[in-house]
Amino acid sequence: MKPLQQPTQDAEALQELGRASVQIIHDLKNQLNGLKLYATFLRKRHERGGERQPDELETVGKIAAGLERTAEDMAVLVRFGRPLELRRASEVDLASLLRAAAGQVATPDVGDGSFRGEFDAEALAAALRDITAVLHGADAGGDSNATISLRRDEPGGSAVIEWGGLQSEGGAASPFDTFAGSAGLRMAQAARVVRAHGGSVEHAAGTVGVRLPLSQ
């Protein structure tokens, strides 16, 4: 498995474009939130009225859910366009972050030893949660039968998280660099957070990995 290097071509231009887009996306997000509140109001009014057709209530629910997803995607884009500022704390347990990120999706196989490091717990937990959701989520084209493992790389003093058993072809594009839709953006933001911690992301046939430095 070879570490993936962050693309450098036109990096400055892409950064400027992302920053210029932040305010526009922020405004659109506010408008969507207004529509979401209106859809919620309509749904509650339908529930109180008792005379509406079931398909009308179902339609309103789908509108609200779609607006919610769109607002979340825009929030990810806003975070991606802004400079990343980490608030690290010492002795953060990476194993606990991974278990919380996996949630009900899977139970990580955690190896022996300490997995403590100097991490921004909130940012790293969100990154691991997004990677897991994209790789395992059926609605995102993921594989619900995939596995998650955490082990120490003793010679390098680092931790390696692997999402294995994925249905992917060898030589396929890295999921961290595709920028294909919401899933691609979340993976790119997750890779950005990992690299900001001094780590790296890796990709091979059927496996995606994250390497992070641990406390010595």
Over residues 95-116, the mean pLDDT reads: 87
Shared-domain flag, residues 93 and 176: yes
Percent of the chain residues past pLDDT 90, beyond the cut: 27
pLDDT of residue 199: 94
Shared-domain flag, residues 76 and 99: no
pLDDT of residue 139: 43
pLDDT digit string (tens) for 39-49? 777 777 767 76
Per the structure, the complete domain to which residue 34 belongs is given by 11-81
Strand partners, 159: 152, 212
What is the full DSSP assignment across 102-154? HTTT---EE-SS--EEEE-HHHHHHHHHHHHHHHH-GGGT--TT-EEEEEEEG
**What global pTM score does this model have?**
0.70
For residue 2, being part of any structural domain is answered with no
For 163, the 3-state DSSP assignment is strand
The pLDDT of residue 31 is above 50: yes
Whether the CB-CB separation of 94 and 115 falls below 8 Å is answered with yes
**Of 81, 100, 130, which residue is a domain's last?**
81
pLDDT of residue 55: 65
pLDDT digit string (tens) for 179-215? 777 788 888 889 999 999 999 998 887 888 999 999 8
Shared-domain flag, residues 207 and 121: yes
